[in-house]
Amino acid sequence: DTVMTQSPASMSTSVGERVTVNCKASQSVGTVVAWFQQKPGQSPKRLIYLATNRHTGVPDRFTGSGFGRDFTLTISNVEAEDLAVYYCLQYDSIPWTFGGGTKLELK
Amino acid sequence: QVQLKESGPGLVQPSQTLSLTCTVSGFSLTSYDVHWVRQPPGKGLEWMGGIWGDGSTAYNSALKSRLSISRDTSKSQVFLKMNSLQTEDTAIYFCTRLRAAIWDYWGQGVMVTVSS
């Protein structure tokens, strides 16, 4: 199974800052990675597919990058509404696997 | 508009079988893949398995021996059946849609508690 090691597990930030979430795959997954945002009591919301493609309606402050084993979600100019848990997912090889999640909190 | 909605029993006894239904609207199950993802309380997400538009299925190897996913395209429903439930299967169960490598819509989820 491909293990997705996500870091950090949690981070504190301030509105207007830039934050980076990382996922490292235990083997190459090409660009077959998605990123999701989940707020308390809600289902996950799509952000990025195929590593770098932002879904329609997702603010351009969210950027996905990476290839192979290393992937990054960058949030520029964090807004209060971005406080949530973020998950990466590799869907290159079955079983598809999620990272452990990154909780973004306000300082 | 596109919707997915999970339904099923909120409480299941240990060793029993869980049966969940994902009822979809706004799209055809023959054109989109539907997958099941679960989330234990306070924990992360786990992909369980899915059924592709062509009817083929795939499962998480950790669950494969207990899990079955099927569908009724005429009713726009996808079914999940998992046997031998244990307390660690207590979770919110979501169904979600995928096509051409693009994940988009998710259901609201259904909470399932395994307890006697």
* Residues 6+ away with beta carbon under 8 Å from B107: A43, B3, B4, B5, B6, B22, B94, B95, B96
The pLDDT, as a whole number, for residue A106 is 87
Q: What is the DSSP string of A30-53?
A: TT-EEEEEE-TTS--EEEEETTTE
Whether the CA torsion B28, B29, B32, B36 is positive or negative: it is positive
Closest residue, chain A, to B104 (C-alpha): A46
How high does pLDDT run on average in chain A? 97
Chain A residues 23-82 within an 8 A CB cutoff of chain B = 32, 34, 36, 38, 43-46, 49-50, 53, 55
Task: Please give the angle made by the CA atoms of B14, B18 and B23, to the nearest 5 degrees.
Answer: 155
| pLDDT top residue among A52 and B99 | A52
Burial class (CB in 10 A: 0-12, 13-18, 19+), B23: middle
Mutation test of the interface with chain A: which of B57, B103, B106, B108, choosing the one with the most A Cβ atoms within 10 A? B103
The pLDDT, as a whole number, for residue B108 is 97
If pLDDT is split at 50, 70 and 90, which confidence band does A97 have?
Answer: very high
A55 with B104: Cβ contact below 8 A: yes
If pLDDT is split at 50, 70 and 90, which confidence band does B64 have?
Answer: confident
The pLDDT, as a whole number, for residue A93 is 96
Is pLDDT above 90 for B49?
Answer: yes
What are the tens digits of pLDDT across the range B80-114? 999 999 999 999 999 999 998 888 999 999 999 99
Chain B residues with CB under 8 Å of A45 CB are 106
The pLDDT, as a whole number, for residue B25 is 97
Whether the CA torsion B67, B105, B93, B46 is positive or negative: it is positive
What are the tens digits of pLDDT across the range B9-39? 999 999 999 999 999 999 999 999 999 999 9
Which strand (E) or helix (H) includes residue B49?
strand B46-51
Which of these, B7, B41, B38, lies nearest to B23 by C-alpha position? B7
The pLDDT, as a whole number, for residue A36 is 98
Which strand (E) or helix (H) includes residue B25?
strand B18-25
Which token pair is A67? 């290839």
Chain B residues with CB under 8 Å of A55 CB are 102, 104
B45 with A89: Cβ contact below 8 A: yes
Cα A44 from Cα B71, distance rounded (Å): 23
Cα B29 from Cα B40, distance rounded (Å): 27
Q: Within an 8 Å CB–CB cutoff, is residue A94 touching chain B?
A: yes
Tell me the average pLDDT across B48-77: 96
Tell me the backbone φ, ψ of residue B74, rounded to 5 degrees. Answer: -70, -25
A32 with B59: Cβ contact below 8 A: no
What are the tens digits of pLDDT across the range A54-83? 999 999 999 999 999 999 999 999 999 999
3-class secondary-structure state, position A27: coil
Chain B residues with CB under 8 Å of A95 CB are 47, 59-62
Is pLDDT above 90 for A107?
Answer: no
How high does pLDDT run on average in chain B? 96
Chain B residues with CB under 8 Å of A44 CB are 37, 45, 94, 96, 106
Residue B110, CB-side half-sphere exposure with 13 Å CA sphere: 21
Which of B44, B61, B96 lies nearest to residue A101, judging by beta carbons? B44
